Chain A
Amino acid sequence: MKVTKLALLFGLTAAVPTLSHAGTLEDVMKEGVLKCGVSTGIPGFSAADSNGEWKGLDVDFCKSVASAVLGDASKVKYFPLTAKERFTALQSGEIDVLARATTWTATRDASLGLNFAGVNYYDGQGFLVSKSIGVNSAKELDGATFCIQAGTTTELNLTDYFKANGMEYKAVTYDTSGQTIDGFKKGRCDAVTSDRSQLAGLRIKLDDPKSAILLPETISKEPLGPVVRQGDDAWFNVIRWTMFATIEAEELGVSSSNVDEMLKSSINPGIKRLLGSTGKTGEDLGLKNDWAYQIVKQVGNYAESYDLNVGKDSPIQIERSLNKLWNQGGIMYPMPIR
């Protein structure tokens, strides 16, 4: 009796496979829900509204992936993560994709066992200061105290910038962006530094947004994009092409309001390929052929998502500038879907 129990135990441990995930795409399809890592609250990118619903550019990206893979934008489970937690959550398989305004850098790409699937927002680091200290340029910030969020590229860029300009600073490092802006509100620091888009979002959270200004300097490149685990190429492709599909839809003028009409009557071969009435891009990706149709129908194209969350129809009102399409003066350039 004892012997059989023991044998069973050994048998079990031997049978437990090494706990690595080979096929995230199959896993997501089997479970019927996408586990998406988002922020704990960056307005415009991923933040829960007063009804507890997640809204934002990154949230729309999660929805797009769910639409493409599962055919239903609502089948997303959001995992709010601090900057510190995000990579471990992805590495350990707790989430399927990280869409959390994460900067693409060489170190992160090469040493964390992760892959950046592309860039869905081109950003840069800026400074938010209180009007009362009377500073108009970052060059006047010598000796200032900064509130920053732990474990971000922001921390490192700040050091670089002040070294390069022969200035000194003091840093107060918090865990979440909420604590960071709280510290700024209470006067623990003279300035907050972060990605400009985040600062714009945080600024509207102030009691009096007009009491603070964004300084003109942009001190770094911050390409933000979705991240997946390394070594799962099928899933990587799905994420990458979901992103391209939303931008391609904008370029082709397909939006959530006209997509049905386009599907029926458009004679443009590009639109036909995108919406899956010709070609088999969807099948090649391991999805259904109407994957991009579902994205545009349920979530919308990149412009719709941008305007609603961070652009002209949002409280944050950030100019599109770099994030315009390549043929409109920006650098958003979707690879051709054909």
Chain B
Amino acid sequence: MTNKQLPVDGKGLLNNPQHRAIFFQILALALVVFFAFYFANNMFDNIESRGITTGFSFLNNTAGFGISQTLIPYDDGTSTFLDVFIVGLLNTLLVSVLGIIFASIIGLLLGVARLSSNFLMSKLALVYIETFRNIPILLQILFWYNVVLAALPSPRQSFVYLDSVFLNNRGLLLPEPILQSGSGAVIISFVLAIAAVIYLVRWARQRHNDTGQEFPILKVSIALLILAPTLVYFIAGQPITAEYPVLKGFNFNGGLTIIPELLALLFALSIYTATYIAEAVRAGIEAVPKGQKEAAKSLGLKDHVILTKVVLPQALRVIIPPVINQFLNLTKNSSLATAIGYPELVTLFSGTTLNQVGQAIEIILMTMAVYLTFSILISLLLNWVNAKMAIKGR
């Protein structure tokens, strides 16, 4: 026998199915890389030959335009395009986070109402869901924006509440808290009160498990949260004052302004996404076997106890994944704000900035990267929640 072996039974280098599979995978990968490289190269060639400026250095240039809502200090004379990017990012986050909170609350209530044994309630919820779920979100945003602008009066004829809250077609104006020295103590006392409430809840639950005694958690918590900071506020000599909006010339000055674009967008996104969340909630609750509810009822538990202690914990497992997807959708839908001029990332950055700078590729890439990051973060969160909620074999 020599060490020369013939490829028998397809075990050779070429005939081995495993080797072939690897070969074709490498080939496919090489092709993908080749095409990506080819297109990128082509793009940069063309950009260069046309004399279009490239690179990210524009981020340090002065933007020089005004923005109607900025969460960070922004000066239209000196702030850069990077600041504009951050302002847009924060405005997107603001409307998304607020939208997620409101949509969740409305959605949960609607979902439960949809299953209510009360005929009127369940049918009203049905009508609401079917109406708002079936109208395109862009149309709804435009509709609410026009309603907001049409329904509200001019600044001089504002709706006034308690001489400090004003509502007009420039937005909702609220007194702005001004923190002076000593206000730190008030904030710390509030944080401590929150910590105390968390401890209290745990303690009460433990006691309930051990002894079966109930404790009025809600009342005590609210009292704690209000009383502690108030007490410290007066002891520290009222360090927090408010700056009230004042009508000066033809506009209000001072105070906090919530612009109508934000109100309209938030309203539209919340009530639209809430319909999907409501359906997810309904699906989740209906997924809990009927026997569970009947068993709980036969034990003599009250309706709200059955809902919160028996049904919801099991339903959540089904509810959470689709609901988180809706959160993601809401965040992406917020880019439709460009139709009404709310200054979020797409409007500000891949809109205004793109036109002032003209570097479409860099700007669109950055904008896409932001949404991609949001999506990946939310999927990671979803995976984590799923792992946490999975039924644990005991």
- A residues engaging B (CB < 8 A)? 13, 18-20, 83-84, 86-88, 91, 108, 111-113, 133, 142-146, 150-152, 155-156, 158-160, 163, 169-175, 179, 183, 186-188, 190, 229-231
Contact = CB atoms under 8 A, between A and B. Distances in A.
Given A175-B351, A183-B149, 11 more contacts: A20-B45, A20-B49, A86-B355, A113-B52, A143-B251, A143-B253, A144-B251, A158-B65, A159-B65, A175-B347, A187-B154
B203 to A, nearest CB: 50
Contacts of B358: 87-88, 91, 108, 111-112
B251 A150 contact: no
A152 B355 CA distance: 8
A86 B360 CA distance: 12
B249 A172 contact: no
Given A19-B46, A186-B169, A230-B51, A171 B249 contact: no
Nearest to B261: A172
Interface of B: 34-35, 38, 42, 45-47, 49-53, 64-68, 76-77, 146, 149-150, 154, 169-170, 248-251, 253, 259-261, 338-341, 343, 347, 351-352, 354-358, 360
Contacts of A19: 42, 46
B66 A112 contact: no
Given A145-B170, A171-B65, A173-B68, A231 B351 contact: no
Contact of B51 (A133, A143, A179, A231): A231
Contacts of A155: 64-66, 352, 356
A114 B351 CA distance: 19
B42 A188 contact: no
A113 B51 contact: yes
B146 A159 contact: no
A233 to B, nearest CB: 13
Given A18-B45, A112-B52, A187-B149, A156 B64 contact: yes
B64 A151 contact: no
Contacts of A146: 66
Given A13-B38, A20-B49, A173 B347 contact: yes
B354 A175 contact: no
Given A143-B249, A172-B68, A173-B341, A159 B355 contact: no
The 4 closest A-B pairs by CB, nearest first: A151-B355, A171-B66, A113-B52, A113-B50
Nearest to B51: A113
Contacts of B338: 175
Nearest to A22: B49
B169 A230 contact: no
A169 B67 CA distance: 10
Contacts of B149: 183, 186-188
Given A87-B358, A150-B351, A170 B251 contact: yes
A143 to B, nearest CB: 5
B249 A142 contact: yes
Given A156-B65, A170-B68, A175 B77 contact: no
Nearest to B260: A188
Contacts of A150: 341, 347, 351-352, 355
A106 to B, nearest CB: 13
A93 to B, nearest CB: 10
